[in-house]
Amino acid sequence: MACSHFPQLHGSEHNEVSDKLDRLSELPDSLILSILSCLWSTRDVVRTTILSKRWKDLWTTVPCLEFDDENQEFISGVLAQWRGAKIERFCFLCLSDEVPPPTRSDVESWLLFAMEKQVEDLHIYTNVPYCPPQSLYSCSSITTLDLQYCSLEIDGSVQWNQLKNLSIQNPYSLSADAISKLLSGAPHLEYLTLTTLDIDGNFDIVSPRLKTLLIEEAGIYGELTIRAPNLLTLEILASIYNGSSVLCHVPSLTKACIEARDWDAYDPPPEMYDPPLETFYQLLRCICHVKKVELSELSTELLLTMKNKDMVVGFPNAEVLNHTGLLRYIGLLHFLDLLELFPKLKMLSFHQTQAYQDFNPIVVTPFPCPSVLHLNTVEISWSAEDPSIIPFIEFILQNAPLLHKLVFSLLPLSCNRKRFLMIEEKVQSMPRSSPTAEVIIVRK
């Protein structure tokens, strides 16, 4: 678009000035291709043809092809003109209702094109169910594969000798036999994500070099077995039902995030939930050696229920505890009881975004929790409308002799300055058992 304050040049005068100012044409092709590969989408890459004479055809060899809610005509036109020798990254995203969805044959043809060019990083996000061609399972060039809404029907073996990162989201069909074939054919796999699937019956995840496993939005109805001797991080964000089982052989695990969910009733109170205590107890015993633990509200409630029933699972090596949910039904005094299961805890983090509790402002505890004695860092985000956190902070400051830093964030922004200053003054004046304890109070 021409700007009115820029002088307008015409004819030979324009060409002469353009040639003198065209510094982009002096750049080497390799550098230009690197610049183009960093652009957000392939459409933006194609638009760069107007910048320089030499750039007119360079886009046809850019090794990264990114299609974000593009129509089939544009994608087909780009692929028809593309002249590169190899595709480093191919990404197709079509989730918008404003763009006509691709047909199954479209998706298959784009996959075949990418595989013919020895694609390394392949991502297909579409709400149209499709079945990848069998040649995908023998594409040895792939290092990262991310598929959504696909039906994985495998005839024969899988040969993914270079694959390190695999993500399967919202699978239209994924059987236990299919996941077994995928994992056995990817001996160097390090990262595995499985999102929105039902695990019913025997479902084995066996991978010798796997380092990170994320199972998200899953329903565990049957038996899930995880055998990954080199796994470092395990995240299970799932609805775990009575009668199911989760068995883990993960001796190298250092971080575990367990977020138990109930899909039948959103965030149900404890009296409405029939907790699968045996399954949860079994799972926690398999991972209790970890150093970092993340728990949801429901997972914390299950853990406390087990503790009251003498189904105690301690975390003797855990140094970090991150509570990712709210504390609506648990209460801060019960949360203190939970800390007894973490005798070596050094860092504690949790938050409460709304005022749910009418808490007695005096905390009476007969003895300090052993874990509090080792606390070094505490991070709390809390509603400014809920005063129950004040005595909890007082307890921490009085019973954590090794405390180095306590960060207290007040939510929400509606917390007025006068209230903020009152809370800050009260907290800063509290006695501390640690001479080096720093208290930081912020308003978010």
CA distance 198 to 130: 19
Which residues touch 424 (CB under 8 Å, ≥6 apart)? Answer: 441
Structure tokens that stand for 171 in this block: 């699978």
Q: Is residue 144 predicted with pLDDT exceeding 70?
A: yes
| pTM as predicted | 0.83
**pLDDT at res. 9:** 33
Structure tokens that stand for 185 in this block: 């054919």
Q: Is residue 386 predicted with pLDDT exceeding 70?
A: yes
Arithmetic mean of pLDDT, 17-40: 63
CA distance 230 to 235: 15
Q: Is residue 119 predicted with pLDDT exceeding 90?
A: yes
Question: pLDDT for 277-332, tens place per residue?
Answer: 888 899 999 999 999 999 888 888 888 888 888 898 999 999 999 988 777 667 77
Structure tokens that stand for 422 in this block: 């009152």
User: Is pLDDT larger for residue 79 or for residue 328?
Assistant: 79
**pLDDT at res. 18:** 46
Burial profile 217-252: b = 16 or more Cβ within 10 angstroms, e = fewer: ebbbbbbbebebeebbbbbbbbbbbeebbbebebee
**pLDDT at res. 179:** 93
Mean of the per-residue pLDDT values for the chain?
Answer: 82
pLDDT classification of 12: cutoffs 50, 70, 90? very low
**pLDDT at res. 257:** 93
